[in-house]
Amino acid sequence: MRRPAQSVVQGLRADDRGDPSFEGICAEHDAYVEALGSAGLEVAMLPPLEDFPDSVFVEDPALVFPEGAILLRPGAPSRVPEADELAPVLGELFDRVLELPSPGFADGGDVLVTPQGVIIGLSARTDRAGAEGLADCLAQLGRNSRIVETPPGVLHLKSACSLLDDETILCTSALARSGIFEGFAQIVTAEGEDAAANALRVNDRLIVGSGFPRTAERLGPLGIELVALETSEIGKIDAGLSCMSLRWWDPAQAGRSG
């Protein structure tokens, strides 16, 4: 994770819902850190980068897996250098770090990892060349993938969906109708609560936005412990729960702790 910079209030946004407050973003970020730690994760925090307002969203410029990391090329020009800032850190953590080949761009927010393979969504931030280059990188790590079209108006694939368990996906009605999740059980967000689709499963808990009570009711039958977090301030800069961290299973760490 990376601490929010003061400049975070100038972060990119597709829809203008007013400026967030720095204090509000920090409070939501702190609660997120606590939720990850409570769910059993070890959190490593990077310092803020004032020159890059969106750098708190570390999931877009890189992907991480137990097999290695992939440095991406974000689709927003102002965010491209963020991958360079992450490169030294990932080089220390992973034996293998790949780079997205040129041309093309891809954001981590357009990548959904499932037990059946990695789904790469085309969007305003991930183009065909970038998606195909990413598929090649994933193959080098031993992972299969498929490229899908996201419906118009979807900023990132994971803005509109999240993996709940090995067989179930939470998604918006537009994404459900698209047919890209054939073979999965689907829980559709309640009307007017599309932003609830960006949830985050961590071990035996599901972190969800607190402003979506009707969608939370639909998740109840899964029997997963729900952890509701406030996301109103980060939501003003098009952010959700998945984009503020890079998460992976480290077999070496697990072996030392177990």
The strand order across the sheet containing 111-114 reads 111-114, 117-122, 145-149
Phi then psi for residue 60, to 5 deg, are: -75, -40
Distance in angstroms (rounded) separating the CA atoms of residues 128 and 55: 24
CA angle 239, 142, 111 (to 5 degrees): 15
Cα radius of gyration rounded to whole Å, the chain: 17
> Residue 124, Cβ neighbours under 10 Å: how many?
16
Q: What residues does 118 pair with on adjacent strands? A: 113, 145
Phi then psi for residue 226, to 5 deg, are: -95, 135
Active site residue 243: yes
Catalytic residue (choose from 29, 137, 156, 171)? 156
> Residue 200, Cβ neighbours under 10 Å: how many?
25
Helix (H) or strand (E) holding 253: helix 251-257
Catalytic residue (choose from 137, 161, 171, 243)? 243
Question: Do the Cβ atoms of 206 and 227 come closer than 8 Å?
Answer: yes
Question: Do the Cβ atoms of 250 and 31 come closer than 8 Å?
Answer: no
> Residue 138, Cβ neighbours under 10 Å: how many?
22
Q: Which residues are catalytic?
A: 156, 243
